[in-house]
Structures are given as structure tokens and as C-alpha cells.
């Protein structure tokens, strides 16, 4: 099930959120070596985990985190605009109908096939949420190899600038347009699956 969580302090979602933040710490800090904040030595949380954030979380069937992605309004100070604006030489797209996606967390305990399935479920949920909430575009910054894959998935997508090399390897910014035909376009490449019927909100 994909949970759409608008309140990161919601008591009913606390166990699911805590397991997500713990998985983020294990993946991004312990495995990838990112220099990002860690709370209480076990939760990866930064300034963009706040009351404006929407989380899409796939659970494992027992109420624990399996995979997730973070959505954030670009009408607020956001990651691409405040930390990575140099990746967008023509300017950072930002308006109430443009949201940023970040922190795609696909834990290594899942095999490659399961990580791909979970990734596709989360991307499908991103599309469904956008269509339901009037979001026209997503932006973000990801490793260049993954950006090439994302741009080729079938949706209308484009780079926002050239790849830039950093210590961990080249990264780049992207923009994805969400239209009524986006689900069909993503289905052509096997990415899209309907996710939000019966999902927890």
C-alpha cells in the first residue's frame, strides 16, 4: 500500500515515519556517506522535513517502511532553489503548481527487482497525487546516471542544466511535466501502475 502522509507529526503515522527516517539514515548516511543531519543518531531528517512536506510511503504489509519519496512545494524555500540553484543556469522553476521530489529511498535489503517495482509504484503515486492535487510539474536533483533513466521513462521530462561533478559523482537537475496522459505514457514503458485506490491518506 502507498500511504500519502501530509503531517510528519501525525501520531497515527509515527511508527511508519520513524521507520522511514531510520531507513533513510541507513541508506543515505551509512551506505552512501552523505553529510546530512541525523537526529538521535538514527533518523535522517533535514530542514525540508517539516509541515509543508508530503511523503509517499510504501509499507511492507506490517506497517513498516519499505520505500518512500518526499514531495515539497517550490513556493517554499526548497532544496533545488536553496542548495543546488547552480544546476539550473536558466533559473529554478518555482511556483505553487511546481513541487520538488527528493529522498527516493529504496533500501538495499530489497533485491533489484523489488527495488524497481517499489520505485515504479512511488513514481506512479507521484503522478496520481499530482493529478489529484493540481500539481503540474516536479523538479529535483539526482545522480546523472539515474537522471538519464528518469528522463527516458516516457513522461514529458527535460534536464534543467548540464550535469555537474561533485565528490560523489555527477549530478543534475530535472523537470517532469504531469499531464492527463502521463499515466498512459508511463505505461508504455512499464512504469505506471494505479496506486492510490484504497491508499491511506
**DSSP collapsed to 3 states, 8-23:** CCCHHHHHHHHHHHHH
Average pLDDT of the residues of the chain: 94
Which pLDDT band, with edges at 50, 70 and 90, does 196 fall under?
A: low
Grouping H, G, I as helix, E, B as strand and the rest as coil, residue 73 is: strand
As a CATH number, domain 2-188 is 3.40.630.30
- Alpha carbon distance 122, 106 (integer Å): 10
Which pLDDT band, with edges at 50, 70 and 90, does 148 fall under?
A: very high
Give the residue extent of every domain in the chain: 2-188
Q: Which of 137, 134, 158 is nearest to 147 (CA)?
A: 158
Neighbouring CB atoms inside 10 A of 14's CB total 11
Q: Are strands 137-143 and 169-177 parallel, antiparallel or unpaired?
A: antiparallel
Cell of 9: 507529526
The pLDDT score that the predictor gives to residue 100 is 98
Q: What is this structure's pTM?
A: 0.93
Q: Which of 11-15, 105-109, 156-160, 185-189 has the lowest mean pLDDT?
A: 11-15
The pLDDT score that the predictor gives to residue 57 is 97
Which pLDDT band, with edges at 50, 70 and 90, does 12 fall under?
A: confident
Cell of 19: 521507520
- Alpha carbon distance 89, 172 (integer Å): 11
- Alpha carbon distance 59, 118 (integer Å): 10
Which pLDDT band, with edges at 50, 70 and 90, does 194 fall under?
A: confident
Cell of 93: 522553476
Residues paired with residue 55 on neighbouring β-strands, in sequence order: 5, 70
Amino acid at each position: 500500500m502507498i500511504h500519502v502522509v501530509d503531517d510528519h507529526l501525525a501520531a497515527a503515522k509515527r511508527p511508519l515515519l520513524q521507520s522511514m527516517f531510520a531507513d533513510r539514515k541507513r541508506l543515505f548516511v551509512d551506505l552512501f556517506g552523505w553529510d546530512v543531519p541525523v537526529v538521535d543518531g538514527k533518523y535522517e531528517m533535514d530542514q525540508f522535513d517539516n509541515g509543508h512536506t508530503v511523503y509517499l510511503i510504501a509499507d511492507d504489509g506490517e506497517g513498516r517502511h519499505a520505500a518512500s519519496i518526499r514531495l515539497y512545494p517550490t513556493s517554499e524555500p526548497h532544496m533545488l532553489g536553496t542548495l543546488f540553484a547552480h544546476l539550473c543556469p536558466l533559473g529554478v522553476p518555482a511556483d505553487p503548481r511546481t513541487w520538488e521530489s527528493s529522498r527516493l529511498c529504496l533500501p538495499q535489503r530489497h533485491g533489484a527487482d523489488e527495488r524497481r517495482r517499489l520505485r515504479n509504484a512511488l513514481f506512479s503515486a507521484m503522478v496520481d497525487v499530482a493529478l489529484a492535487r493540481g500539481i503540474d510539474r516536479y523538479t529535483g536533483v539526482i545522480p546523472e546516471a539515474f537522471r538519464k533513466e528518469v528522463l527516458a521513462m516516457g513522461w514529458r521530462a527535460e534536464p534543467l542544466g548540464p550535469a555537474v561533478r561533485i565528490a560523489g559523482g555527477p549530478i543534475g537537475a530535472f523537470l517532469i511535466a504531469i499531464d492527463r496522459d502521463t499515466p498512459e505514457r508511463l505505461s508504455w514503458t512499464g512504469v505506471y501502475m494505479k496506486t492510490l485506490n484504497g491508499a491511506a491518506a
